[in-house]
Chains A and B, each alone.
Chain A
């Protein structure tokens, strides 16, 4: 029997605010242990939380960028559980009135992954276990998170991978998170079940917690899918449980012991007041959103005629698309700029991180200037390419490497003169060409190029040579 995978995601994304969600400590990653702490974020008795306004704004922006409805009235709740990384023994989160609900992200196969909700909450501290001893560092405690919960809409691992990439892309575009999975600023929990293909009924699900790379998500899902199918095929039953994925062994194992009986006893956080977001405020936040990758992709492919593969590369990171948008401004064929970026510039950016950082010496304006010269015919393609290399090395403008006369190109009489010189000088090659050896003309072309110090445009030279030889 064939089995269908059914999966849903809960993704925690750390927001890139300056300060923590309920106090004014910095959110900077790293730092010596317990140096980004104050009485509030270590939960000293008597302290009270005060909500960071930017957290609410970022969460709403994340909701708007994923097609959510924004709650005009939201509130904060306490999620009670006792664990050493949680200094108050409750996490301030949102239960029944989250900021955002009912959104979706559309995948390239056209399917929509429904987003159930996005809510804000505080991160926990970090525990280091050493020979049974536990060391606690609260630097991360109180860093703002949004939790993005989807419906169980995934039917394949590829969909899951694309969703995570898209989510990262959107969050980075709107500038609310860097979504670095290795640093833990984006963490995924996946719930998985399987069912016989064609069945509508959901199977018993398991949840794999806290995965920190797309590769691991794929591997863990793959393993868990196989495990559940094997279990059912061999007459067993899937037990609803929480699992951890072990990267080293490539397997999942159960996480919970009896000690952590879980009943979160959610209730209204009495230390915080209602979050009220009037329609005007929502619209103001909407207006702050940049053009999203999906919209850019559509513009590039439909309006500019850029191939989908190239458009995908241009829109992958906001830094690239912004560079491109600026570099292609006012061009008749924006594709020219795209070709330079995906060709010559990308050759210099080896890793994904390099591409995201997009740290190149040439500015978008300089590339724009280069493209304009090319479009106006003032600069020939081969010259432009050489110039760009030099520009990328030095950060200097195109005019530093291409002179006025270069740009003026060759007038017809000069071209005729050079061509005639070459024909005279290379009689043997001309004869070969006349006898049918097409390639022999290339040697003559080389001679012309040499005389023109590269200013000549190859197709024009060949045209002129053929004219002269044919006489």
Chain B
């Protein structure tokens, strides 16, 4: 590069570790590997490892290979390809795919093949996606361990005794286990960030409204948001930029600003807030890792500001009341008439609907439907639903106030590292523990903010620890910029033994 074109920033002086997407892009462009060969590698890896990781519910080799062949044709014809073109990926099984079974990991949707594509999948198809299959999750995204899946939970690629997290456990397990380069998950109360953190990878929950929800099978409509789970922050930015588009089919959609152009910006002078309440009840080693990351930021020239956010203490019940209320309504439509599972033996329509739902939904889903119905029912509405809506307003305002003084908020993604499989639903475990474990992630969904989880260490057992950077609305570019600079400085990602080695 001629000297006069050299950028005069500190960043240009350091070596940047390229993300997986760009590496694959170069491999394809340089014809080191064909897209079909690459895709076959991933399909083979899935074949070999999925029995153990249980990351995929449905694998779609025909779809993936056909998509890959198209990319190879373009390359052979000397056409240029986009960054995401030909990069093998996966979708959480609550994202609708035309003609491809989409189950939400529920018995009630067995055999359901949507007749339309979710907007995100449409957008990615335009980018030349290679879709390997649909990944495991907690049933209807209701859970924090992937264990409420009708198909059994996905396993953590760092330790098969541990869960991959939830609800997007399948995507996290697949990406962490190199059974896909990246995946799209959904985050209602932490379902992208927590499994990303448990599996030692990156998970971005965009601002509510940044990415279209059209085609995402709803859990709680005013919280749900689709986002990428990737190996690297750079990958997350690339995928985010491709899907954060306004969609006329989603009234709550707005799109967002691209994050990739400013990914490597200098972060000197950035103000990073740490809310004391975010550290309450967090396991000591996790807290340490996050505070250590704060030091790294300080070394890079950012300013750390401690502050109070007392409203956090009621974010969890507010979230659960509202999410369950919305869920009870969203899940009313599964009645055995138009799609999915239908009870075999019944007497009359009412009986058929009740049997279908009682047989088709798992226990946790039924529990949340009942609870959601309860908080909306006559006599309880004011005390629970209405009050929770008001408190949600208070939480939004509290974050607004905080962001008047800081650019981003740094917090642990989860109070602990990955649970032992079966722990959450064990005899000795209080049933509320599952809900309580979402304490760090739900405030963001309650306020509709963006947040990215990045690996920041490991615990004694070698399980990854994650931290999250929370941003202002539609300011994904700032949190990704800060996450990228941390990742490049620290390289905390640990490879697993699974899957495709690039």
> Does chain A touch chain B in the assembled complex, meaning CB atoms less than 8 Å apart?
yes
User: Chain A residues in contact with chain B, CB under 8 A?
Assistant: 39, 42-51, 78, 80, 82, 84, 87-90, 132, 134, 136, 259, 263, 265-268, 270-273
Is there an interface contact between A39 and B251, defined as CB atoms closer than 8 Å? no
Q: Which of A78, A89, A266, A271 contacts B252 (CB 8 A)?
A: A271
> Which residue on B lies nearest to A133, using beta carbons?
B349
* Residue numbers in A under 8 Å from B116 (CB-CB): 39, 44, 47
In the bound complex, how far is the Cα of B251 from the Cα of A50, in angstroms?
6
Any A CB within 8 A of the CB of B221 = yes
Is there an interface contact between B96 and A45, defined as CB atoms closer than 8 Å? yes
Beyond A42-B338, A134-B349, whether A265 also contacts B214 by CB under 8 A is no
In the bound complex, how far is the Cα of B326 from the Cα of A88, in angstroms?
13
* Residue numbers in B under 8 Å from A259 (CB-CB): 350
Is there an interface contact between A84 and B337, defined as CB atoms closer than 8 Å? yes
Q: Chain B: interface residue count, which band?
A: 35 or more
Is there an interface contact between A263 and B115, defined as CB atoms closer than 8 Å? no
In the bound complex, how far is the Cα of B369 from the Cα of A89, in angstroms?
13
In the bound complex, how far is the Cα of B385 from the Cα of A45, in angstroms?
24
In the bound complex, how far is the Cα of B168 from the Cα of A229, in angstroms?
63
Any A CB within 8 A of the CB of B250 = yes
* Residue numbers in B under 8 Å from A265 (CB-CB): 328-329, 373, 376-378, 381
Beyond A89-B332, A265-B373, whether A47 also contacts B221 by CB under 8 A is no
In the bound complex, how far is the Cα of B377 from the Cα of A88, in angstroms?
18
Q: Which of B94, B114, B326, B337 contacts A44 (CB 8 A)?
A: B114
Per-residue contact bits, chain B 76-102, to A (CB 8 Å; 1 contact, 0 not): 000000000000000000111000001
> Which residue on A lies nearest to B389, using beta carbons?
A268
Is there an interface contact between B376 and A45, defined as CB atoms closer than 8 Å? no
Tell me whether chain B's interface is mostly helix, strand or loop, or mixed: loop
Any A CB within 8 A of the CB of B213 = yes
* Residue numbers in B under 8 Å from A88 (CB-CB): 332-333
> Which residue on B lies nearest to A49, using beta carbons?
B251
Cross-chain pairs A/B with CB under 8 angstroms, 14 sampled: A44-B114, A84-B349, A87-B338, A90-B329, A259-B350, A265-B373, A265-B378, A267-B329, A267-B376, A268-B389, A270-B222, A270-B252, A272-B251, A273-B252
In the bound complex, how far is the Cα of B325 from the Cα of A268, in angstroms?
11
Q: Which of B112, B221, B248, B373 contacts A270 (CB 8 A)?
A: B221
In the bound complex, how far is the Cα of B190 from the Cα of A85, in angstroms?
35
Is there an interface contact between A46 and B216, defined as CB atoms closer than 8 Å? yes
- Give the shortest distance, in Å, between A125 (CB) and chain B (any CB): 10
* Residue numbers in A under 8 Å from B426 (CB-CB): none
Any A CB within 8 A of the CB of B215 = yes
Is there an interface contact between A82 and B353, defined as CB atoms closer than 8 Å? yes
* Residue numbers in A under 8 Å from B325 (CB-CB): 267
> Which residue on A lies nearest to B340, using beta carbons?
A45
Any A CB within 8 A of the CB of B217 = yes
- Give the shortest distance, in Å, between A456 (CB) and chain B (any CB): 73
> Which residue on A lies nearest to B221, using beta carbons?
A270
In the bound complex, how far is the Cα of B250 from the Cα of A51, in angstroms?
10
Q: Which of A132, A271, A273 contacts B221 (CB 8 A)?
A: A271
- Give the shortest distance, in Å, between A274 (CB) and chain B (any CB): 10
- Give the shortest distance, in Å, between A372 (CB) and chain B (any CB): 54
Is there an interface contact between A43 and B329, defined as CB atoms closer than 8 Å? no
Most buried by A among B248, B251, B339, B373: B251
User: Chain B residues in contact with chain A, CB under 8 A?
Assistant: 94-96, 102, 104, 109, 112, 114-116, 118, 213-218, 220-222, 248-252, 325-326, 328-329, 332-333, 335, 337-339, 348-350, 353, 373, 376-378, 381, 385, 389
Is there an interface contact between A45 and B332, defined as CB atoms closer than 8 Å? no
> Which residue on B lies nearest to A85, using beta carbons?
B337
* Residue numbers in A under 8 Å from B389 (CB-CB): 268
- Give the shortest distance, in Å, between B207 (CB) and chain A (any CB): 15
Q: Which of B333, B349, B385 contacts A267 (CB 8 A)?
A: B385
> Which residue on B lies nearest to A260, using beta carbons?
B350
Most buried by A among B329, B335, B376, B377: B329
Is there an interface contact between B249 and A89, defined as CB atoms closer than 8 Å? no
> Which residue on B lies nearest to A80, using beta carbons?
B329
Is there an interface contact between B217 and A46, defined as CB atoms closer than 8 Å? yes
Is there an interface contact between B337 and A46, defined as CB atoms closer than 8 Å? no
Beyond A43-B338, A263-B377, whether A82 also contacts B251 by CB under 8 A is no
Q: 9 tightest A-B contacts by CB?
A: A89-B332, A265-B376, A270-B222, A270-B221, A45-B217, A46-B215, A46-B96, A46-B217, A259-B350
- Give the shortest distance, in Å, between B377 (CB) and chain A (any CB): 5
Beyond A132-B348, A267-B329, whether A51 also contacts B96 by CB under 8 A is no
> Which residue on A lies nearest to B222, using beta carbons?
A270
* Residue numbers in A under 8 Å from B213 (CB-CB): 46, 48
> Which residue on B lies nearest to A259, using beta carbons?
B350
- Give the shortest distance, in Å, between B69 (CB) and chain A (any CB): 28
**Given A45-B339, A273-B251, A273-B252, 10 other A-B contacts at CB below 8 A?**
A39-B114, A44-B338, A45-B104, A46-B94, A49-B251, A51-B251, A90-B332, A263-B378, A267-B381, A270-B221
In the bound complex, how far is the Cα of B385 from the Cα of A88, in angstroms?
21
Is there an interface contact between A39 and B115, defined as CB atoms closer than 8 Å? yes
In the bound complex, how far is the Cα of B97 from the Cα of A39, in angstroms?
13
> Which residue on B lies nearest to A23, using beta carbons?
B249
- Give the shortest distance, in Å, between B333 (CB) and chain A (any CB): 5
* Residue numbers in B under 8 Å from A42 (CB-CB): 338
Is there an interface contact between A270 and B332, defined as CB atoms closer than 8 Å? no
- Give the shortest distance, in Å, between A216 (CB) and chain B (any CB): 27
- Give the shortest distance, in Å, between B372 (CB) and chain A (any CB): 9
* Residue numbers in A under 8 Å from B118 (CB-CB): 46
Is there an interface contact between B251 and A48, defined as CB atoms closer than 8 Å? yes
In the bound complex, how far is the Cα of B373 from the Cα of A45, in angstroms?
19
* Residue numbers in A under 8 Å from B377 (CB-CB): 263, 265
> Which residue on B lies nearest to A268, using beta carbons?
B389
* Residue numbers in B under 8 Å from A87 (CB-CB): 333, 338
In the bound complex, how far is the Cα of B376 from the Cα of A136, in angstroms?
29
In the bound complex, how far is the Cα of B382 from the Cα of A266, in angstroms?
12
In the bound complex, how far is the Cα of B214 from the Cα of A45, in angstroms?
10
Is there an interface contact between A44 and B332, defined as CB atoms closer than 8 Å? no
Is there an interface contact between B115 and A270, defined as CB atoms closer than 8 Å? no
* Residue numbers in A under 8 Å from B112 (CB-CB): 45
* Residue numbers in B under 8 Å from A136 (CB-CB): 337
- Give the shortest distance, in Å, between B215 (CB) and chain A (any CB): 4
In the bound complex, how far is the Cα of B372 from the Cα of A89, in angstroms?
15
Is there an interface contact between B248 and A50, defined as CB atoms closer than 8 Å? yes
